[in-house]
Each structure stands twice: as structure tokens, then as C-alpha cells.
Structure 1
Amino acid sequence: MDGDRRGWRACVLAGAMFAVCMAGTTLPTPLYGHYQDKFGFSELMVTVVYAVYAFAVIGVLLLVGNASDAVGRRPVILCGLGFAAASAVCFLCATGLGWLFVGRLLSGLSAGLLTGAATAYVMELAPAGGASRATLVATAANMGGLGCGPLLAGVLAQYAPWPLYLPFAVHLALVAGAVAVTLWLPETVRERGSLRTVRPQRPGLPPQVRAVFGPAAIASFVGFALFGVFTSVSPAFLAESLNERNHAVSGLVVALAFFSSTAGQLAVGRVGVGRSLPLGCAGLLAGLALLAGALRWDLLALVVLSAIVGGIGQGLSFRGALSAVAAASPPEQRAAVISTLFVVAYTGISVPVIGVGVLADPMGLEGAGLVFIACMTVLVSTAAAYLLRRPVPAST
């Protein structure tokens, strides 16, 4: 009993460390308007600064995504926390656009290292027989941390002094605490090698996976693209179209999308993998429709509903997609297939967002957003139609 209690305490502490790191990746979201006023750059630059993060994550996942299997969880996690601290320092010292690029790049490196290593660490620290609860801890830490970042920054920027400095100072202190926790927790990888054994992971797609992978990848792409738009340009839309300049409100709207995704992922256990992917596609379609209505009629309530419904759809579809492609993959190629899915997902969080930024100048944010919604609707409708004809087997 005491061993179980110690195991769960370690598991929860590792989850808290994971959440702190992920919160840093979304911390700048409600602050981009301040940076635009201070440094004088366009909406396109906002989306490019945001997308740098995703490109860094993709690079780390492909090049050293399996590093913690070789050298241990704690060294990789500590390295990731070091990048998170360096990112916060860049934002604290920012005197121009270049600092923001470097800060987002470091944040992406941090998330790329932490995502796999910390998820595995949380699972391994849990007592025997606690895999289901440990999965809940890891999921809540990941998506909950992403949601807490904009909420924390929004509240501090609105109600405390130094809006461009205090959020990152607070996060730096939290990272220091996370480092102390990691140093206290035990290592879970017993047989460790060196970085020489780490090899780049090539994306792979065996023939037997392709039928499942297509709709799964499309749904993942659209879900992450929706998150990308919420976290990069929704604060600007709230300020320009709805005259809602309260940073806490814009941070809360973004946070709701991530919190709702957590709820959607947790619902997969009850809904089942076979139904979660088509239901997730339906949720994404509903979220896109609500966002279109918000853009068309300038209604804050529809923005909030879009964040909630779209977030649930994203959670259902992504966990369903991950489970489906993992089950369909041969064991010796499973890691490569999952890496490919993550590459598609993080491409979704970057490329469409830059497209919105490119269109924002000639068309305005509302027009660019409607074009984005139309393109994403076509994609997710294609995936949904395919799933109606060839459902994912319930056994996956």
C-alpha cells in the first residue's frame, strides 16, 4: 500500500512537471497583440512566429524522438526543461522580433523532447496495474498544461503589472521547481546507453496501415489546424472584430479548447476507438461551423462554443486516430507510423496558420478565417465520408 502511494505521488509529480513545460509553449498566446504594438509587425509575422514552434517539434520528433529510451528519461526531461527556461529568458529579454523567433524555437525543442519522454515517465512511475489512471494523468498534464499557459498569461497581463515580463518570470520559477522535482524522482530506464545509439526516426507507412491512416491523418491535421488558429490569431480577432481586449478573456477562450480536448480524449474509453474517430470528425465539423458563424456575425458566444465543441472533436479524433493507427501497425514499425502521424498533426498546426496570416492582409482576419474554415471543412468531410464507408474496426 505504501509502495502504491509512493508510486502515485511520483506519477502525479511527474505529471505536474510535464504540465509546467507544456504551459510554457502556449504562454505567449494572449500577448501577441502587445508584441505587435511594441515591435510593429504584421499578423502574418504572428502566425510565422507561432509556426516556428511546430517546425521545431517536428524536427526533434524525427531526429531524437527516441532519445529517452537510450539515455534515460531524466536526462532528456532535464534537457527539455533547460530549453523551456531558455525560451522564457528570450521572451524576458525580447527587444525585437528575432527574440520571439528564438524563444518559440526553443519552446518547440522543449516540447519535442518532453512529449514522448514525459509521457513514458508518467506511465512508468505509476504502480503496477495503474496504466489506465497513469494515461489519464499524462493526458491531463499535456493538454491541461497547454490550456493553463494562455490562461495564466492572460490573467497576469490583464490584472498584474509588466504584462510582457511577469508571465515569463512566473514560468521560469515554475520550471525551476519542475527541475527540482525531476532531480528528486527516480530514473525508470534500467539499461541505458549513450547518444550514439540514438537514430533518426524515419516516417513509415506499411501497406496494411494505409486504409486506416488516411482518415486518421486528415482528422488529426484538421484538429491541430483548428488549435493553431485559436492559439495564434483568435486574440487578434477578439480585439479587432468583437472589441474584446481583455487578455484574461482571450486566454480563457484558448484554454477552453485545450481543456475540452482533454475531455474528448478521456471520453474515448467510453465511446470506443471505433466510434471516436467519426464522432470526432463530426465534432470538428460542428466546431468549424460555429467558428464560421462567429466570424460572420461577430458573436463571442459562438467563439466560446466553437472552442468547446471543436476541442472535444479534436480530442476524440486524435486519440481515436492514434489508437487506430497503432493497433493497425506491425509492432516493429509502430513507432515509425506514430511518428508519421505526429508529423502530419504538427504540419496542421503550422502550415494552415501561416496561410491565414498570408490572407489576413488582403482579406482581413474574418475573410482569411472563412477561407481556412472552408478548406478544413472539405478535408474533414472527406475523412468522415470515408469512415462511413469503411469504419475503423471496434476491436482497435
Structure 2
Amino acid sequence: MAGDRPGWRACVLSGAVFAVCMIGTTLPTPLYGLYQEKFGFSELTVTVVYAVYAFGVIGVLLLAGNVSDAVGRRPVLLCGLGFAALSALCFLCATSLGWLYAGRLLSGLSAGLFTGAATAFVMELAPPGGASRATFVATAANMGGLGCGPLLAGVLSQYAAEPLYLPFVVHLVLVAGSAAVLLRLPETVRERRPLSTVRPRRPGLPPRVRAVFGPAAIASFAGFALFGVFTSVSPAFLAQFLNVQNRALSGLVVALAFFASTAGQLAVGRVGAARSLPWGCAGLLAGLALLAGALHRDLLALVVLSAVVGGAGQGLAFRGALSALAEVSPAGERAGVISMLFVVAYAGISVPVIGVGLLTGPLGLQDAGLVFIACMALLVVTAAVYLLRRPVPAGTGALGPR
């Protein structure tokens, strides 16, 4: 970006655009029960519909995670908003299960374009010396948007007319407003190249990033796996075993995990990036233990506590991971490195969820959830031991302009 950086106003506005995109990705969460009644599909299908979104994200991140480094942030983000609008239209037109798959895939394409590009955009719009706060704006926009999606859909579907339509109409309005805001924000990529010169590249990392990327990726996978279970099957568990039929309450429980993640990110400044990853793993392990207790004893209070504690642990670990990677990434490859972190994270949010869906048939939802918790607990403990033995180095430098 030529000239002076525009400052915190532009940074926060870009974060708001980021949040609006992410709202659309979790908007269907409290509505899956209504879609099951309408189209008559199983809990396994719910997890597959959910995971289609993650596969869309991973595909875009692998094939086009570095595109915004070449063509600029704004064109990529405008394209992402276009996919978000198409996703909402698919849900508005849904007359069969196929529309849900299409809507989730388009939502995944939107999120895939946004994750790396929007995170880098927010950081680059911050004033000099504001790298740490800009990282928080980016990750809070991501997690806050994910949390607002189920909360918005839950309230609108429970207390307003047309529960399967109004949430997506509202989101379309928000997307249109976000596009108008984005057009007024400055581009941060100085040396842009035509799209025709950009080629998909094999997954890879700059050598100076690899030592940091390993532990960051482990913690991100485990944290997003916990979120995947909350956003795909927790509404069904609340309805079947705790008799929670209020969609606003179900949406709130899911939203709490994401809001707690945002709160956990705030603690990174005091804890430090190097210590936040192992401490975040400890929070994730405690959240998994609470979730196991909730499944075993059918207690709503433990579900809420697991969302809060596990979400805080995820936020602590993820912001620490993102800060560490942004610190050591070369400026011209920052979006690509961030995108690779999100590839691992979205593998965590999709693959374990499908495993839960597959186990639900023979084992039931509760036992399938307990198997998931055991596997994730083993992964978190492994990650924590690894991080304690090979801690992520802390850094204090600021992100430079592009």
C-alpha cells in the first residue's frame, strides 16, 4: 500500500467485513433439525453437509491460498462475498438436500478465499507497531463471526416468521453492506500481478516458518475439531437428550464456544505467544473433559462449561499460533502461510466430525461423542507435550506493509 497506513478505523472495518463472511458459514447450525424434518435425513447426513463446507475451504486454500498475494486483497475478498451471497441464495431456494450441499460448498469457497486474505488484510491495515492488536482484530472477527451465525439464526428462527428463510435474507443484506465497505478500503498489496500469472502451487512452507508451523498446526487441529462437534451435532444432542427445543438457546450454546475463543485470544498479550499454545492445549483438554461429563450425565450446565472452557483454550492456542506464524513469515508469502494453517484447522473441523457421524449409527450419539473426546484428548496431550519440549519462540516485531 502506497503512503501511510490508514489506521485503526480501516483495520476494524476490514475486521467487520471478515466477521460478516464468517457469520454465513455457521448460520445453518441451529436449523439442521428443521431441515431434517423437511427432507428426512440422518445425523450422518448432517455431519456430511457440515463437512462439505470444510472441504470447500480446504480446496480453495490449497489451490488459491496465495492468490491475494499476487492480485491484491480486495479483489479476492469481493469474490468471497459473492460466493457468500450465492450460498445464502441456495438456502433460500432449498427444495431438496442437494441445495444444502451446494449452499455449504459455496460457503466453504467463500470462507476459503477470506481466511488467509482477510487475516493478512486486517494486519496490513493496522498502524505501525499494532501487529499484536491487529492479530486480535483478525482472529476475533473470525471467531466472533462464527459465533454470531448460530446466535442470529437461532433467535430469528425461534421468534420470527419463516425460520428457514429470514436468517439468510438478513445475511444477504449484511453481505451487500460489507461489499460497499470493502470498496472504500485501500488495497494493501503494492506490487500486483495479473491473475493469469498465478498458478496453483504444491503445499509448502518457507524454511524459516517450518519450526513454528508444526506445533501451531497441532494445536489448531485439536481446537477446531472441538468446534466442529459443537457446530454440527451439539444441537441434536441438546434436543434429544436434554430436551432443549428452543433454537435460540441451542444457538447460544454453540455461540458461547466461539465467543469464549475471542475472550481467550485477549489473554495472549499477557501470557505471551510461546506460553499460550501449551496453556491453550490445557484449556482444550479441560473442555473435552467437561464435554465427556456432559455426555455421560446429560447435564446442560456441563455442556455450557465445556463450550466456555474449551473455547477459551482454543482461542488462546489459535491466536498464539497465528501471531507466531505472522511474525516469522516473509511479507510476500504471509497470506499463503496463514492459509496453510487454516488448511490444517479445517481438516480438524471436518474429518473428526464425519467420524462422529459414522459412529452415531452403530454406537449412538452419546457413545460416538465419547469416542471422539478420547481421540481428541490423546491428540491434545501429545501436542502439549511436544509444545513443552519444543516451545514456539516468541517475537515482538511488527508486520510491515506490503
Q: TM-score range by the shorter chain?
A: over 0.9
TM (normalized to structure 2)? 0.91
Q: Which moved more, 1:228-237 or 1:122-131?
A: 122-131
- How far apart are the structure 2 equivalents of 1:5 and 1:67? 22
Alignment of 1:237-252 (within 5 A): 237-252=237-252
Q: Structure 1 residue 143: deviation in Å?
A: 1.1
Tell me the secondary structure at the aligned position of residue 267 of structure 2: helix
Tell me the secondary structure at the aligned position of residue 191 of structure 2: coil
Q: Quick check: 1:143 aligned with 2:140?
A: no
Q: Quick check: 1:77 aligned with 2:81?
A: no
Could you list the runs of 5+ residues in structure 1 that have no partner in the other structure? none
Could you list the runs of 5+ residues in structure 2 that have no partner in the other structure? 397-402
Alignment of 1:2-81 (within 5 A): 7-81=7-81
* AA in 1 matched with 2:247: H
Instruction: Tell me the alpha carbon deviations over residues 242-276 of structure 1, each in whole angstroms, 9 at most, x when there is no partner.
Output: 00011111111111111111121221111012211
Alignment partner, residue 321 of structure 2: 321
Alignment of 1:178-189 (within 5 A): 178-189=178-189
- How far apart are the structure 2 equivalents of 1:310 and 1:286? 7
Alignment partner, residue 399 of structure 2: none
Alignment partner, residue 231 of structure 1: 231
Q: Quick check: 1:219 aligned with 2:219?
A: yes
Q: Quick check: 1:281 aligned with 2:276?
A: no
Relative to structure 1, is the Cα distance of residues 59 and 269 closer, same or farther in structure 2, using a 3 angstrom cutoff?
same
Alignment partner, residue 347 of structure 1: 347
Q: Which moved more, 1:192-201 or 1:269-278?
A: 192-201
How many pairs does the alignment contain? 394
- How far apart are the structure 1 equivalents of 2:366 and 2:67? 43
Alignment of 1:373-388 (within 5 A): 373-388=373-388
Q: Quick check: 1:161 aligned with 2:161?
A: yes
Relative to structure 1, is the Cα distance of residues 126 and 330 closer, same or farther in structure 2, using a 3 angstrom cutoff?
closer
Tell me the secondary structure at the aligned position of residue 182 of structure 2: helix
Q: Which moved more, 1:132-141 or 1:260-269?
A: 132-141
- How far apart are the structure 2 equivalents of 1:116 and 1:46? 27
Relative to structure 1, is the Cα distance of residues 10 and 329 closer, same or farther in structure 2, using a 3 angstrom cutoff?
closer
Q: Structure 1 residue 201: deviation in Å?
A: 3.7
Instruction: Tell me the alpha carbon deviations over residues 134-168 of structure 1, each in whole angstroms, 9 at most, x when there is no partner.
Output: 33322221111111010000000111111100000
* AA in 2 matched with 1:155: V
Alignment partner, residue 190 of structure 1: 190
Relative to structure 1, is the Cα distance of residues 392 and 146 closer, same or farther in structure 2, using a 3 angstrom cutoff?
same
Relative to structure 1, is the Cα distance of residues 137 and 201 closer, same or farther in structure 2, using a 3 angstrom cutoff?
same
- How far apart are the structure 1 equivalents of 2:274 and 2:59? 31
Q: Structure 1 residue 23: deviation in Å?
A: 0.4
Contact 1:80/1:109 (8 A) holds in 2: yes
Tell me the secondary structure at the aligned position of residue 304 of structure 2: helix
Contact 1:201/1:336 (8 A) holds in 2: no
Alignment partner, residue 262 of structure 1: 262
Q: Structure 1 residue 213: deviation in Å?
A: 4.4
Alignment partner, residue 112 of structure 1: 112
TM (normalized to structure 1)? 0.92
Q: Structure 1 residue 200: deviation in Å?
A: 2.0
Identity of aligned residues (%): 82
Q: Structure 1 residue 346: deviation in Å?
A: 1.0
Q: Structure 1 residue 110: deviation in Å?
A: 0.5
